[in-house]
Amino acid sequence: MNPGKVYLVGAGPGDPKLITLRGIECLQIANVVIYDSLVNQILLDFYAPTAEKIYGGKMKGEQERRQAEINRQMVDYTRAGKTVVRLKGGDPFVFGRGGDEALVLAEAGIDFEIVPGVTSATAVPAYAGIPVTMRDYASSFAVVTGHSAALDSTSPIGWEKIATGIDTIVILMGVGHLDEITRRLIENGRSPQTPTVLVQYGTTPEQKTIEGTLADITQKAEEANFQSPAVIVVGEVNRLRKHLKWFEQKPLFGRKILVTRARAQSANFVSKLVSQGAMVLSSPMIEIVPIDQNLALDQSIDGLSDYDWVVFTSTNSVNIFHRRLCERGKDSRSFGPVKICAVGDKTTQALQQIGILPDFVPSESLGSVIAEEMKDVAHQRILIPRSRIGRPELSDSLRERQAIVDDMPIYDTVKVQGEEQNEMLEKLKNGDIDMVTFTSSSTAENFLNMLDEPQSLMKNVRIAVIGQSTARTVMMHGLKYDIIADQPLIENLVDNIVEFYRVNN
């Protein structure tokens, strides 16, 4: 049996893109991943599909028991020959008990590796526009635990030295003891007027910040019902925040935007919205499912060389057709002399990813335009793999030009109903959604059919759509859309959303 190994990996402070390349590599080879509560759930997508995932968070009052259980799991799985990733928020060795866990592994003779992470002690202030060191402001900083153990009379922390001997003090896990922390610093010589900032959910679109002084920050936090997880920053560097708060200046910062697109297609859309500062809520209304036992598709694939053209109208049609091609023991060479038409840039990119350069890309996605621009298609055999609910406009236009068309449904658009949708409905009722996005008529139809009173629930919610057909679906339900993409592309929809909020801020 091959010996196992444990990787103690820092997941970073919250923004999933702040995990290191080495951290991603470890996740992709893991057999078992034990992850903490502060780990961004988006990182779950980087796990190997077959990896066993174990939640390692600790509830108040059971920390020691749960830690002992995690220690045992790491040892047992590794001795069974498994590769284990212990995924921890921030950096494993900065108040993450990574040192304790490494000692357990060392004493058990287990092979392990430490993969440092970006610590919230520096990353969270940076996202709040606060450099922990700065010429003329601070030449030293300290990271201190604010946990209750650091505040009792036996604590080894020299508060009397830290209070006046360190320029910038960053305190983790201290919001619950904020009053005692500020009092200790003041009693030990720090000026009550020292600028103090609290940052909650730092490095994420949910980031919230409170500014004050050592004298009044506790009262401000109580008035705002400020809770953990949060970082406390004490020092003159906080004065720079008004000039450097870059993250909170993003155009969509704090906007809660619902994405209803199928999960397999939404990653790029979500990423672009998040990059603009949005808080993205994902509630897929549809799922793309290949049509099972599709004999007609198999026959078309086996006789692919008999066609003059194959017209791909979406990335779904490319991906599902190619997957079935491979399942039948073939590859892109099977297209041979067949000409390929790709409708749209995304479809072109999907074809390029499987090694095919389209022969023709129409100027528009309208069926009549495509048929006209393909020119002389009389008596030519044309295959159009598409959704079962796809519109017949393209096929009809080609047949009018005397083409022989095989209009081939290869996938279904299936309605999704589950826990995510129930959570979305609750947020909608509570007014926790600023905008809903629809990228197809089917997503809009399924979403609006879920609502008992769409006009009431959507009264204060903005609507952004791609395409005239999607816009018509929205209007058929008695609603109006606020944004329609000037081109049928995700990039354009994001740009239009950004511009909308710039004007309507």
Residues belonging to the active site: 36, 58, 173
Residue type, 288: I
CA atoms of 98 and 145, how far apart (whole Å):
15
Q: Please spell the DSSP secondary structure of 340-374, one letter per residue.
A: EEE-SHHHHHHHHHTT---SB--SS--HHHHHHHT
Q: What single-letter amino acid sits at 300?
A: S
Residue 142 CA to residue 64 CA, distance in Å, equals 27
Residues 490 and 268: their CA atoms lie apart, in Å, by: 8
Contact 465, 481 (CB under 8 A): yes
Spatial separation of the C-alpha atoms in residues 292 and 214, rounded to whole Å: 65
Q: DSSP for 117-149, please give it.
A: ---HHHHHHHHTT--SSBTTTBS-EEEEE-SGG
Name residue, tokens 């058990």.
108
Pairwise CA distance, residues 61 & 147, whole Å: 14
Residue 4 φ then ψ, to 5°: -85, 180
Classified as helix, coil or strand, 402 is coil
Count CB neighbours of 100 within 10 A.
11
Contact 38, 21 (CB under 8 A): no
Pairing verdict, β 83-88 and 32-35: parallel
**CA–CA separation, 165 vs 145, rounded Å?**
17
Q: Kind and range of the H or E element at 495?
A: helix 490-503
Give the separation between CA 260 and CA 464, rounded to whole angstroms.
11
Rounded CA gap, 476 and 244, in Å?
Answer: 46
- Residue type (1 letter), 496: N
Q: What angle do CA 246, 249, 253 make, to 5 degrees?
A: 120
Q: For strand 230-234 and strand 168-172, is the pairing parallel, antiparallel, or unpaired?
A: antiparallel
